[in-house]
Amino acid sequence: MTTFSIAGVQLVLEPKNNIDAMINMIARVKARFPWVDMVMFGELAPQGYSTHNAEALPSKTEARFQEAAAKHGVWVLPGSYFVREGGQIFNTAPVIDRSGTVVGRYRKMFPFYPYEAGVAPGQDFLTFDVPEVGRFGVSICYDMWFPETTRTLAWMGAEVILHPTLTNSIDRDVERTMVRATAVQNQCYVVDVNNGGGAMGVGRSSIVGPEGETIYEAGSGEEILAYELDLARVRRVRERGIFGLGQVLKSFRDSPVAFPPYVQGHASPSLQALGPLQLQQSASAEAPQASSAQAHITAVSAE
């Protein structure tokens, strides 16, 4: 068997404890779509975006989703939530199999600095195997802006990238393009689940196939994106090329290039010249103050 069905659940959430609503949604999904193998939610869906909600492992939050997975016989990726460990806080996505066992936990490698202050970056990639189906990888939100993260998952054999997201800003349109680019560059499925329109997201979740085709894109409200992935198709595209053309991963594999940033380190004179990573201030606040005469001229011109 090479098919695996995922229901990406786009919920409209407030930044609070949403666990009960998510548990109820798992039951609803399995009742409506009994063929679904995994239920997946958006980033920070269980408890919102405050680090004050961080829990130590083993956590009550994770245990609730383990119970739901075992009860309904379904894999669960409950988005992510904050975990406290060793004096640090990590944005963590657990992957739970249909027996309720945690098969892996992924820590977001690129917290959205400087906005996601106080959250430490993870350093370990996560792939996991679904027996008789294939290999899956996990990436969280801002990680996708760094193509090295998803290329590494493909290099590790991932045929599907699961990508919970919390984006409630104007750059969501850019991310939609990035999801397609990630899928076609790595010849894999990408399941990108954002939270619905509101404080926790603007929606537009999507499922994209291994040739970069958008299989489905949600609107901004509550939706269930239930779809059967065919991993045999991923293998065929990787073998024969995208539309029978570019065999991207083979070319990457066969390239003799040792890319300088990964040999010499990430920093370079040009990148160092960009200055510190910090919150930006208003451009008008940084500009010299206009005289009262100049201000009057501006006001008259605007009228």
How far is it, in rounded angstroms, from Cα 48 to Cα 53? Answer: 8
| pLDDT score for 287 | 52
CATH 3.40.50.2000 at 3-262, yes or no? no
How far is it, in rounded angstroms, from Cα 181 to Cα 214? Answer: 11
Share of the chain above pLDDT 70, in %: 93
How far is it, in rounded angstroms, from Cα 40 to Cα 108? Answer: 16
| pLDDT score for 142 | 98
pLDDT tens for residues 74-104? 999 999 999 999 999 999 999 999 999 999 9
Is the per-residue pLDDT at 177 higher than 80?
yes
Per DSSP, the three-state class of 53 is helix
pLDDT tens for residues 6-28? 999 999 999 999 999 999 999 99
Strands (DSSP E) found in 112-260? 127-130, 134-138, 160-165, 189-194, 206-208, 214-217, 223-230
What are residue 171's DSSP bridge partners? none
How far is it, in rounded angstroms, from Cα 130 to Cα 75? Answer: 10
Is the per-residue pLDDT at 296 higher than 70?
no
* Burial state string for 228-261 with b = 16 or more CB within 10 A and e = fewer than 16: ebbbebbeebbeebbeeeebbbeeeeeeeeeeee
Q: Identify residue 162 by its one-letter amino acid code.
A: L
pTM over 0.75: yes
Residue with tokens 């060793």, as numbered in its chain: 86
Is the per-residue pLDDT at 302 higher than 50?
no
| pLDDT score for 136 | 98
| pLDDT score for 158 | 98
Of the pLDDT bands very low, low, confident and very high (cuts 50, 70, 90), residue 285 is low
| pLDDT score for 280 | 87
| pLDDT score for 140 | 98
Of all helices (H) and strands (E), which one includes residue 4? strand 3-10
Share of the chain above pLDDT 90, in %: 92
Mean of all residue pLDDT scores within the chain: 93
pLDDT tens for residues 239-282? 999 999 999 999 999 999 999 999 999 999 999 999 999 998 88
Is the per-residue pLDDT at 121 higher than 90?
yes
Per DSSP, the three-state class of 161 is strand
How far is it, in rounded angstroms, from Cα 162 to Cα 140? Answer: 8
Helices (H), 143-279: 147-155, 172-186, 231-240, 248-254, 260-264, 269-272
